[in-house]
Amino acid sequence: MTADFLILSLLTLVGAVAAVSLRNLVHCALALAAALAGLAGLYLHLQAQFVGFAQLLVYVGAVAILIVFAILLTRGSDSEPDGPPATRGWVPGAGLAAAAAGLVVAAILSSRALAPSLQSSPEAPVRAIGEQLMTRYVLALELIGILLTAALIGAVIIAMTLPSRRSAEHKPQSRTSIPDL
């Protein structure tokens, strides 16, 4: 329980709470980015350097931007001011979430401490990670590659406007390429 751990976990948790509770969706996305950056800091604190940087690159650099784009494309930032940000059944939802978190917290608090590792400060050198990826986990790596390709194609096809039947009668659109954003 060092100071940097406390600060980073506070940043992560406050960011997370803000991300699910703020009214303005863009603020939510920015708070999410802050929470995920805090989490990357926690990974660095836990000496998982490579994972921390990958987290920053993927989440802050890509996922947060993607979410922001989606918010602007769906006009979510100027949602109707009268409606509440939560669904009608938010009370049981929040209750369920609190119960789940409480259960896990109770389980953690009542568990006995793990036998400490022999190494006081383990490290994960990039070379070792690369070797593991290319030997023991090579199948998983290839599968991830296929998954990402499939997700890429799938996302493009889902988000693409196919020429609807009505507009096709009037003016047939020949091109269905990815739009220039």
Partner 1 sequence: MAEKLDQIFVQAKHELVRWLLCHVPGAWAEVLSALLSIATLLVAFAALFALTTLLERKGLGRIQNRYGPNRVGPFGLLQPVADGIKALTKEDVVPRAADQVVHFIAPLVLVVPVFLALAVLPVGRNMVVVDLDAGLLFFFAVGAATELSVFMAGWSSRNKYSLLGAMRAIAQMISYEVPLILSAVTVVMMAGSLSTVRIVEVQAGFSGWLPHWHVLTPWGLAGFLLFLIAAAAEANRCPFDLPEGESEIIAGYYIEYSGFKFALFFLGEYIGLFAVSGLAITLFLGGWTAPLPFVQWVPSYVWFFLKLLSLIAFFIWVRGTLPRLRMDQLMSFAWKFMLPLSLINLLAAGLWRFLPEGLTRWAFCSLLLAAAYIGLGRSLVQRRNLGRRTYRFAE
Partner 2 sequence: MTPLHATLLVSALLFGVGLAGALARRNAIGVLIGIELMFNAANLNFIAFWRYGPHPEALTGILFVLFSIAIAAAEAAVGLALIIALYRHCRTVHLDKVNSLKG
Indicate which of partner 2, partner 1, none lies near residue 41 (CB less than 5 to 8 Å, by partner kind): none
Choose which of 14, 20, 22, 60 interacts with partner 1 (CB under 8 A).
60
54 binds partner 1 (CB under 8 A): yes
Q: How far is 139 from 141, CA to CA, in rounded Å?
A: 5
34 binds partner 2 (CB under 8 A): no
Q: How far is 65 from 30, CA to CA, in rounded Å?
A: 9
Size of the residue set binding partner 1 (CB under 8 A): 31
Question: How many residues are recorded in the chain?
Answer: 181
37 binds partner 2 (CB under 8 A): no
Rounded to the nearest 10°, the torsion over CA 108, 109, 111, 116 is: 90
Q: Choose between 109 and 162: whose C-beta lies nearer to partner 1.
A: 162
Q: Which residue has the tokens 């009037």?
A: 170
Three-state DSSP state, 9:
helix
Which of 56-64, 85-93, 148-156, 162-170 is the region at the interface with partner 1 (rule: CB under 8 A)? Answer: 56-64
30 binds partner 1 (CB under 8 A): yes
Rounded to the nearest 10°, the torsion over CA 119, 139, 63, 92 is: -80
178 binds partner 2 (CB under 8 A): no
175 binds partner 1 (CB under 8 A): yes
